[in-house]
Structures are given as C-alpha cells and as structure tokens.
C-alpha cells in the first residue's frame, strides 16, 4: 500500500532537483509459477507522517490545535479495512517554547489494539513537561469508528474535564491539495531552461478523494507556552516504535521475546512541509528523519538545504527566510500565540491580505505549496499550481478537518481531482 | 520360509529409514500443537471491487494520475498473489510503467518498487534485480529494496548475495511488524535451502505468530505462512502435520489454491487418491496452474483414468507454453519422458539466466532424459551444492548415478529420499520405488511391498 511519506514527497515535486519519491509501497509479493515467494513489505505507513498542523483555534484563540496525519491515499472503500492506528507506534508532538531548538514539552498519543472494526480503539494521551518521565497529566479517549455507509459517522471528540484538552483520532478527508504532476513538469521545464507555465494548468488535486489517519488535539495555549514569556512555540511531529532485538539462528534469543519492552526509536519526524523531501538530498533523507531539531540548528543539514535552493535559483534573501523557518532554530512549525487567527485557511496563502497562516504554524487549509513556491521563486510566482483549495470544505469546529470521503454509489464517477 | 523373508525385509526397510544420517524428523507428529489455531480471517472482497472502480475511474479521467496507477498496480499484484491470475500481472505491469512514464523513478520509487515486484512475478529476475539495485540507490538506508533484491538474487542462485541482502533488510527494516514477518519468511527459506529444516520451521512459525499479532492480521500472509509450514512438514515426510497446516491455511482463507493443491498432494501421499484428486480438481478449477494440472493428470493415471490424464497433460501443454512456466514445462517433459531434447533446451535456456539449485536440478534431470550424462552429473552436483534436503533432488541424483553405473551412490540417494519424504510426488515417488528396487535386487519384491508404509 501507499507509504504516507508520499505527502512530503508530493510537496517536493516543485523542486525536482531535490526530487520526490511517491513511496507507493505494495504490501506483498505475488504468486509466481515455480517458486514459493514470500510475502513482502516495504515501508512503515503507520508511522510515516504525512503532515503536521499547528494553529490557533479560530473559534477560541486561547487554544492551540495540534494535528498530524499518517498513512494516506486511502480509497473510500478501503476506509473500514484500514481504519486503525498502529498500537505499537507512539505519536508525539514535541513542543519548544524557549526559543531554542530543544523541545521543552511533549504530548504523546498511543493506541490500544483494534479488537473489532465496529469498536473504537482507546487512545492514551500523555503530557510531559521538560524531560520528566512521568506525565503531568493523562487521559484516555476513543477513536472514531468508520462506516461504509454513504454518510460518515460523526467525529468523536473527547474533552478531558481536568485539563480542557480535547482529542480526536480517526479517518478524515486528506486536507492536502496539490498537483504533483503539473508541478513536476513545470519545474522540469524550468530546469531545462524553457519554463512552461502551461504545465500548471492541469489543476488536478493529486490528493482529492482520498482519506488519511488524523490525530488532533486542542490544548489550552498556556500549557504549551509553559513558563516562558515567549509568544512563539515550535511544534515537531515525531513517530516512534519500540526497537526489537533481532533474534539470531544461534538461539541467543527466544523466538517469543517480548517486543513491548524495547527502547523507543524515532521512525519519522516532520514540521515544515517539504523540508526533508524537497531540500534534503536522497542519501540523507533517512538520516534527516531520525535526526532532531537540535541537529538542524547545529547546521547538520544546512549546507544541503542551501545548495538545493541555490540550484533552484533562490536568492540569498529568500534562502534566509526559508532557513529561518527550518534551520536556524531547528525544523519546527513556529506558531505565534499572539497572532489572532480567524480561519482554518481555506485556500489562503502568503499573498492573501491579512494572511496569518503558514509559515506561522500551519492551518489545514493553507496553500503551503503556493507559499513555498513563492519564496523559492524569489517571490515572483504568484499563481502557484492552480489547485487552490481542498476538494471538500473543511470543518467549522474542532478538529476542523473534513469528514472522510465515503464510497460512492456504483456508477458515480469521482472527479473531485479537478477543482 | 516366505513369511520369514517378509519379516527380514521389514527389518531391512526399517533399518534403511533409521540408518539414513540425514533423516531429520520434525520434532513430533504433533508439532502443530505449538502453532496458533486457525480462524477465518475476514476478506476485503466486498470492497475490493469498489476500490478497483475508484482507481479505474481516476485513471480514465486522468491517465497521468500516477498515484492511482500505483495503487492499481498494487491492487492487481495482490490479486495475482491471491488467485494466481496472470492476467492481473499484465495489468499491474502496465500500470507501473504508465506511472513511471508520468513521473520518473527518481521521483516515484513506489512505481519502481511495483515494477520490480511485477518483474519478479513474471520471472524476469534480472530486471527485478536491476530495479532493486536502483531502489537501493534512490532510498539509501531503507530496508525494503534489499528485500526485493534478495528475492531476485535467491531466484537466480546468488545465495551468498541474497543472504547479505536479507541481512541488510533485517538490519535496516526490522522494526515494523509486517517487515519482521517478511524477514522471518526469507530466513526460513534460506535455512531450508541450506538443509536446516528446524531453523526453517522455527522462523516460519515466528513469521506466522508475528503476522497473527499484527493489528489486522493480513489474511493471505497468514494463510501463506501456514501453507509454508505444511510444505516444510511435507518435505520431511510428516504428512499428518502437513495436512493440519494445509487445512489451517484453508480455514484462514477458504479456497486458498496453494493449500488446496498441497492438500491434494499430501492426501495422495497418505494413500487417499480419490480425495487427492478431489482437492486437485478444486485447485485447478480456481487456477489451472501447470504444476497442479500435471499432478492431477498423474493422479488420474494412477487410478487408471488414462483419458482424463491425457486431457490434463494436453491442458498442461497449452498452459505450459507461457514463458513464466518454462521450468515447469521442462520438468513435465522430463518427468513424463516426452520431448527430451526440447525439455533440455528449455532447461538450458532457463539456467542461462537463473542458476539457482532448482534450475540446476531441472537441467540435470532433462539432461539425463536427453542422454547427456556428463552434463547431468555436473548439473546435479550444482543442485546439491547447498546441502538442501529435498527428496526430489535426491531422487534425480540417484537416477543420474544409476545411469552412469554408480549403483552405490544411486542406492545412497534413493535411501536418503525415501527416508526423508518417501511419497514426495504422486508419480515420481512411484518411479523411484522401481529404481530403488533395481538397486536392491535381493530384496526387490519385499521392499516394494513395504514401501507404501
């Protein structure tokens, strides 16, 4: 099935030199004629972060909405079979609130195993301050169960009465929008020395019609601000798995060893969209995924990022702008808690009057691709990829994402890809 | 006096079994007790058609929708795996290529992965290897390209490199559950090829348990592991355990064609030819895989249904011409003493690109039938180079030894085959008995009577 890093990869289409890789990773091998080929697997979709969001609740700016999604490109008819969160993955939001690259708090979400497709999983939400090993608070909440009916089940939102923290986890419509193919062709034409803007006229949303696994929290802002007077917080999405000991054939390890006791290993991270996939060269992408914002701030990947942007013709001013987002203090989504927010974005981008979105945090509807392209093109390319909003309307209240796309009746053709 | 001879013969045959140093019985006939019980796993068939239509619609609206092309390729590759339907393989291949035409591999490793897997299924192992190597370049640090590379290398007989690739896969990709399943499956296969059945069984059992522990156990993967446990048990002559495993696979996925055919084979091994025929008929109704068709023909032959057998053989001839089945075609000809030169040519061609031990065995067997004894000797040596314990390999080695007049070696190989898995094939096991008897003139008659038990 699809590797959800395809999201990040998709964003990278606008910078072909850095390359994108749509990691469509099929689950297993096939029957052949005379050899008993084993089943196969590639990738780790349940732990591969597609996007991270951080924005002030437009209905109540005293609260911050944090969200990350994994394992996208779920066809509506697949939503029941794939409607579970991996119980062996830890989903973590790292929060930085002192202006450096080191995280100062974290929110972790884990899930119980799915026992039935008609029963919710139980999520456990824990908040850690500093480097404490014991959570400041924790609570549990159910996930939203999916259905194949024409109308989706309503989102199940749980609010912890002790902390006023709200939680949602379930499938939603994939909020990202972007024409991967059009952009790839356009950028190819640029690199070939003959820019062809007509390639951007396809205006097909490569993500329309698909669903994705979404985890969202609404947290009182003061909790994330911590003891700091700093108005800006950083948010970094991380997934971790427990490392297992590889058993050898010499019998040193029991075949039924308890994997649950393993040390947590970082599988993926994401904050600013497209940094890894667009700006980090192929040989270092995995290294980047397992690194930290502290590594970023120490300049571990700075030369690669600058080199990629330079190759794309980005000037030093705009390289500086992008570097300030993802390099100088580590790759965090930086959100100013004092900047009023009144919307979820809905097609807004950096050139929109009164814009308060990405790279100030990231709202579900922000046109991040157009914004990134604006800076990469030295603030000259204004029209972007002509995919200007999500294919379905976003929600008006927490979690603010659109309900999952349900299977269509036989004969009803999906053509939401064209906006 | 005659009764006394019977008694002596019984002791002789029993001593043959015990005296075979390579005999490695499965731990107990009840080894399946340690295997998790089988349950029916839910099928996604009801929604599969909807998924297919969704993807087809998207591609129809936008042929450059490479995401839909990739998903379509994956959908069809899974279908090939579950049903053996090669028509889906062609569609998968086209979809992967269309995706790559829209977005090149540098930006579309998913499509390249699918293409490499489709090539593997189509037995174009060289292309699969090449594309796996490209994936390693494009995705450094990722484990899955090594899985594909190792699979391809294994099929072309580069065992050391395959093991290195699997070790790399294990080191870089061993965290996620399904990856661990894939690793265990491959380590099991390597162990089996090297003659270590116990490790093979242990690792396949681990694969099964890991698959069952996943949030949603993948039904075909679970069935495949159970079927493989059956194959391992069958390979060492533990027919009771094998049958349990095959039936467990069929409980998991009713109508699982691999398990049905293997169940037919083990029923034949246990002497229930009518049921064996019924199982093979069921399997061939689902997918007329040439090996199933040939086996069904052989069973018909054994029960005197010569006309039915010939129909199956003709069907085999028609299907076997598909290039993906070339090795089976060569073996079929050799097994049935048909077109020996043609069989040898096919085997030679196959071996020119695929130098695995079973390719060497096919070459050896067909060379023998074509009267090329020197080549047969060299090839069977290659086939046995890993120390694989496979009754069919030993049978072929015995026949070749006998053909060159080395009766002692022939006897040794036949003993090993008989001790390991006396009913390894409905037709060939019978032939081996006759060959064995020729190598044991003094006890020919009694050994023949004793064989079946």
Tens digits of per-residue pLDDT, B65-77? 999 999 999 999 9
- pLDDT class of B395 with cuts at 50, 70, 90: very high
- Which residue has tokens 């533990």? B238
pLDDT recorded at residue A415 = 64
By the 8 A CB rule, do A409 and A392 touch?
A: no
* Between B158 and A8, the higher pLDDT residue: B158
Average pLDDT over residues A158-175: 97
Cross-strand pairs, A265: A241
Query: Which chain A residues are within 8 Å of B151, Cβ to Cβ?
Result: 29, 37-38, 40
Quick one: tokens of A395? 């929600």
Query: Which chain B residues are within 8 Å of A418, Cβ to Cβ?
Result: 61
Average pLDDT over residues B156-183: 86
Among A220, A267, A330, smallest CA distance to A46 is for A267
- pLDDT class of A31 with cuts at 50, 70, 90: very low
Residue in A47, A113, A255 closest to B206 by CB: A255
- Which residue has tokens 């900047």? A339
Chain B interface mutation, best of A2, A13, A14, A24, highest count of B Cβ atoms under 10 Å: A24
Chain A interface mutation, best of B49, B113, B223, highest count of A Cβ atoms under 10 Å: B113
Whole-Å CA distances, B104 to A12, B63, B101, B184: 14, 15, 6, 32
Query: Which chain A residues are within 8 Å of B325, Cβ to Cβ?
Result: 33-34
Query: Which chain B residues are within 8 Å of A76, Cβ to Cβ?
Result: 50, 54
Residue of B nearest to A416 (CA): B58
- pLDDT class of B441 with cuts at 50, 70, 90: low
* Between A62 and B216, the higher pLDDT residue: A62
Range from B95-99, B174-178, B353-357 carrying the lowest mean pLDDT: B174-178
pLDDT of B237 strictly over 60: yes
- DSSP classification of residue A211: E
Burial zone of B441 (CB within 10 Å; 0-12 exposed, 13-18 middle, 19+ buried): exposed
ipTM above 0.95, yes or no: no
Among A29, A11, A28, smallest CA distance to A20 is for A11
Q: Is B182 within 8 Å of A87 when comparing Cβ atoms?
A: no
Among A91, A367, A376, A136, smallest CA distance to A235 is for A91
Among A188, A186, A184, A182, smallest CA distance to A419 is for A182
Residue in A21, A46, A287 closest to B107 by CB: A21
pLDDT of B10 strictly over 50: no
pLDDT recorded at residue A82 = 84
- pLDDT class of B84 with cuts at 50, 70, 90: confident
**pLDDT tens for residues A200-242?**
888 899 999 999 999 999 999 999 998 877 899 999 999 998 7
- Which residue has tokens 């100088």? A328
Query: Which chain B residues are within 8 Å of A285, Cβ to Cβ?
Result: 139-141
Query: Which chain A residues are within 8 Å of B64, Cβ to Cβ?
Result: 181, 202
Average pLDDT over residues A264-288: 84
Query: Which chain B residues are within 8 Å of A256, Cβ to Cβ?
Result: 209
d(C-alpha A372, C-alpha A272), whole Å: 10
Among B249, B170, B56, B135, smallest CA distance to A26 is for B135
Average model confidence (pLDDT) across chain A: 83
Most confidently modeled of A42-46, B19-23, B132-136? B132-136
d(C-alpha B230, C-alpha A144), whole Å: 40
pLDDT recorded at residue A1 = 29
Neighbouring C-beta atoms of residue A151, cutoff 10 Å = 8
* Between A401 and A243, the higher pLDDT residue: A401
Q: Is A34 within 8 Å of B231 when comparing Cβ atoms?
A: no
Q: What are phi and psi of A256, to 5 degrees?
A: -105, 30
Size of interface A-B (CB pairs under 8 A): 260
d(C-alpha B246, C-alpha B258), whole Å: 9
Q: What are phi and psi of A171, to 5 degrees?
A: -85, 140
pLDDT of B9 strictly over 60: no
- Which residue has tokens 């909003």? A389
Q: Is A21 within 8 Å of B108 when comparing Cβ atoms?
A: yes
DSSP for B330-374, please give it.
Answer: HHHHHHTT--HHHHHHHHHHHHHH--SHHHHHHHHHHHHHTT-HH
Q: Is A32 within 8 Å of B121 when comparing Cβ atoms?
A: yes
Chain A interface mutation, best of B43, B56, B108, B193, highest count of A Cβ atoms under 10 Å: B108
* Between A221 and A197, the higher pLDDT residue: A221
pLDDT recorded at residue A184 = 81
- pLDDT class of A44 with cuts at 50, 70, 90: low
pLDDT recorded at residue A262 = 67
pLDDT recorded at residue A413 = 67
- DSSP classification of residue A117: T
């Amino acid at each position: 099935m699809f590797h959800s890093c395809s999201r990040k990869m998709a964003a990278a289409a606008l910078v072909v030199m850095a390359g994108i890789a749509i990691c469509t990773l099929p689950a297993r091998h096939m029957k052949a004629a005379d050899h008993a080929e084993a089943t196969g697997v590639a990738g780790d979709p349940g732990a591969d972060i597609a996007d991270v969001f951080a924005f002030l609740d437009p209905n109540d700016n005293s609260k911050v909405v944090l969200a990350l999604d994994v394992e996208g490109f779920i066809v509506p008819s697949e939503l029941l079979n794939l409607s579970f969160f991996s119980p062996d993955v830890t989903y973590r939001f790292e929060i930085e609130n002192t202006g450096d690259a080191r995280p100062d708090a974290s929110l972790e979400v884990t899930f119980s195993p799915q026992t039935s497709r008609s029963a919710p999983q139980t999520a456990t939400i824990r908040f850690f301050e500093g480097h404490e090993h014991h959570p400041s608070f924790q609570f549990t909440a159910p996930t939203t169960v999916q259905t194949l009916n024409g109308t989706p089940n309503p989102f199940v939102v749980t609010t912890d009465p002790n902390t006023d923290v709200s939680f949602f986890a379930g499938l939603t419509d994939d909020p990202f929008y972007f024409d991967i193919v059009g952009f790839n062709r356009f950028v190819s034409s640029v690199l070939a020395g003959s820019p062809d803007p007509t390639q951007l006229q396809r205006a097909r949303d490569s993500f329309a019609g698909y669903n994705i696994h979404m985890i969202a929290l609404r947290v009182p802002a003061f909790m994330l601000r911590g003891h700091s007077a700093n108005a800006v917080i950083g948010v970094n999405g991380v997934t971790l798995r427990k490392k297992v000991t590889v058993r050898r054939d010499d019998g040193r390890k029991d075949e039924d060893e308890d994997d649950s006791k393993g040390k947590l290993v970082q599988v993926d991270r994401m904050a600013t969209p497209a940094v890894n996939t667009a700006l980090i060269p192929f040989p270092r992408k995995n290294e980047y995924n397992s690194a930290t914002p502290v590594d970023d701030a120490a300049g571990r990947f700075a030369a690669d990022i600058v080199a990629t942007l330079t190759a794309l013709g980005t000037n030093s001013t705009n390289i500086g702008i992008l570097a300030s987002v993802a390099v100088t203090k580590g790759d965090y989504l930086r959100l100013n808690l004092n900047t009023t927010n009144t919307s979820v974005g809905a097609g807004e981008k950096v050139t929109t009057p009164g814009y308060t979105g990405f790279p100030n945090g990231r709202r579900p509807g922000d046109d991040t691709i157009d914004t990134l392209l604006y800076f990469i093109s030295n603030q000259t390319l204004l029209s972007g990829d002509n995919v200007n909003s999500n294919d379905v309307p976003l929600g008006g209240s927490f979690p603010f994402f659109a309900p999952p796309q349900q299977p269509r009746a036989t004969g009803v053709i999906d053509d939401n890809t064209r906006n | 006096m005659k009764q006394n001879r019977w008694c002596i013969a019984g002791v002789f045959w029993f001593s043959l079994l015990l005296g075979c140093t390579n005999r490695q019985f499965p731990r107990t006939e009840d080894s399946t007790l340690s295997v998790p019980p089988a349950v029916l796993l839910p099928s996604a068939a009801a929604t599969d058609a909807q998924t297919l239509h969704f993807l087809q619609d998207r591609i129809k609206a936008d042929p450059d929708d490479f995401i839909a092309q990739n998903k379509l390729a994956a959908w069809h590759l899974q279908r090939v795996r579950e049903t053996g339907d090669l028509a889906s393989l062609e569609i998968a291949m086209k979809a992967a290529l269309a995706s790559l035409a829209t977005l090149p591999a540098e930006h579309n490793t998913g499509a390249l992965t699918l293409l490499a897997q489709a090539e593997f299924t189509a037995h174009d192992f060289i292309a699969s290897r090449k594309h796996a190597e490209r994936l390693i370049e494009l995705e450094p640090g990722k484990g899955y390209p090594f899985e594909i590379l190792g699979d391809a290398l294994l099929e072309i007989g580069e065992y050391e490199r395959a093991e290195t690739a699997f070790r790399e896969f294990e080191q870089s990709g061993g965290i996620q559950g399904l990856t661990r399943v894939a690793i265990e499956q491959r380590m099991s296969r390597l162990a089996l090829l090297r003659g270590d059945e116990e490790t093979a069984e242990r690792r396949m059992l681990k694969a099964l348990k890991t698959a069952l522990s996943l949030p949603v156990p993948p039904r075909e993967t679970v069935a495949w592991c159970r079927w493989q446990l059956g194959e391992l048990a069958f390979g060492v002559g533990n027919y009771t355990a094998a049958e349990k495993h095959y039936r467990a696979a069929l409980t998991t996925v009713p109508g699982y064609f691999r398990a049905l055919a293997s169940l037919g084979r083990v029923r034949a091994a246990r002497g229930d030819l009518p049921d064996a025929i019924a199982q093979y008929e069921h399997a061939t109704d689902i997918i007329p895989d040439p090996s199933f068709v040939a086996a069904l023909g052989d069973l018909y032959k054994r029960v005197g249904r010569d006309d039915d057998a010939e129909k199956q053989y003709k069907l085999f001839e028609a299907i076997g011409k598909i290039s993906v089945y070339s090795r089976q075609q060569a073996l079929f000809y050799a097994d049935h003493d048909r077109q020996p030169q043609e069989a040898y040519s096919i085997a030679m061609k196959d071996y020119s690109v695929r130098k695995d031990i079973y390719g060497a065995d096919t070459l050896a067997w067909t060379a023998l039938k074509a009267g090329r004894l020197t080549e047969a000797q060299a090839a069977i040596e290659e086939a046995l180079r890993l120390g694989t314990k496979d009754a069919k390999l030993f049978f072929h080695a015995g026949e070749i030894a006998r053909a060159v007049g080395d009766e002692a070696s022939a006897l040794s190989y036949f003993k090993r085959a008989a001790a390991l898995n006396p009913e390894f094939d409905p037709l060939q096991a019978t032939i081996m008995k006759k060959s064995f008897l020729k190598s044991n003139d003094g006890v020919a008659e009694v050994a023949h009577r004793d064989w079946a038990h």
